[in-house]
Amino acid sequence: MDTHALADQRSTFSSKGVWLVALGAAFWGLGPLFRVLVLEYLTSTQIVLLEHLVLLVFAAPIVWKHRAELKGANWKHWGALLFVSWGGSVMATIMFTEAFATGNVNTVLLLQKLQPLFAVILARFLLKEKLPNRFGYLLAVALIGTYLLTFGWSLPQGMVNEVVGVSSLLALGAALLWGGSTVMGRFMLDKMQYETVTALRFLLALPLLFVFTWSENASWKVPPEQYGSITFYIILQAVLLGLFSILLYYRGLSETKASYATLAELSFPLVGMMMNWIVFNQVVTIAQLSGFVLIWIALFYVSRQQ
């Protein structure tokens, strides 16, 4: 594809892009269903490493085919790619998991909801995105909806006393990295095709994952009778919830402002709530339904912006 034509194509934002981002993020909400079946035998780091090794089969040919796009990349582009891969895919996940293990779960969840704020601020200063007048209201509506989806009407007990601490810093760091990854991904889509960015995100994560897995020194002992099912779940998660969802996400992001995309990513907790209801038979409250409606109202109005 001609470079100038690619730039012209990506300078135009469309409402379709918002829904593609939302659909890609929605698939992430299905992840725990598969991962919980494998965590009994492998650690999170081992699972993520195996998923990336499966994705290597798809990513390597894409990078080779689009290798001409790498020639003009400067240090800013490689820095953005490493931020997306190492920061958003690897470090943020580890920090968020560690925050859960060491702190108040409600506090960690609440602080993670600040991700859209970080993305909007970074997009404004790094990408010079101009926000419409009503965007602040839409962001507030979406954040209120996400809060209701997670906590209901009341402030979680014990949360105030837990706001300052190591776990809170880890949760804030994860939210910052995830919000920054949205912005850096949008920056890279002005330079490369979305397939290339997706493939590089997976490839560049492998060295860091090998280091973390080696330092973890966890056992790889899996019962022989579980080989088939574990292999199936890992491949399914890697292809459907990894490759397919990320391709959808970056395809949509190429036509969407980063500040809008970060609201579309709230489809992730929406799907998580639905899975808790459908699979784990958790009752959906009026507060959660109210949050569900508020988020979709925000997504609808964001998708109408050009």
In this prediction the pTM is 0.75
How large is the average pLDDT for residues 74-94?
A: 90
Mean pLDDT of the chain: 80
Higher pLDDT residue, 110 or 137?
A: 137
HEC profile of the chain: CCHHHHHHHHCCCCHHHHHHHHHHHHHHCCHHHHHHHHCCCCCHHHHHHHHHHHHHHHHHHHHHHCHHHHCCCCHHHHHHHHHHHHHHHHHHHHHHHHHHHHCCHHHHHHHHCCHHHHHHHHHHHHCCCCCCCCHHHHHHHHHHHHHHHHHCCCCCCCHHHHCCCHHHHHHHHHHHHHHHHHHHHHHHCCCCCHHHHHHHHHHHHHHHHHHHHHHHCCCCCCCHHHHHHHHHHHHHHHHHHHHHHHHHHHHHHCCCCHHHHHHHCCHHHHHHHHHHHHCCCCCCCHHHHHHHHHHHHHHHHHHCCC
Q: How do residues 123-148 score in pLDDT, each as one tens digit?
A: 888 888 877 667 788 888 888 887 78
How large is the average pLDDT for residues 198-220?
A: 91
Higher pLDDT residue, 209 or 113?
A: 209
- Look at 2-6, 19-23, 119-123 and tell me which has the smallest mean pLDDT: 2-6
Q: How do residues 253-301 score in pLDDT, each as one tens digit?
A: 888 888 788 878 878 777 777 776 777 676 777 887 888 788 778 777 7
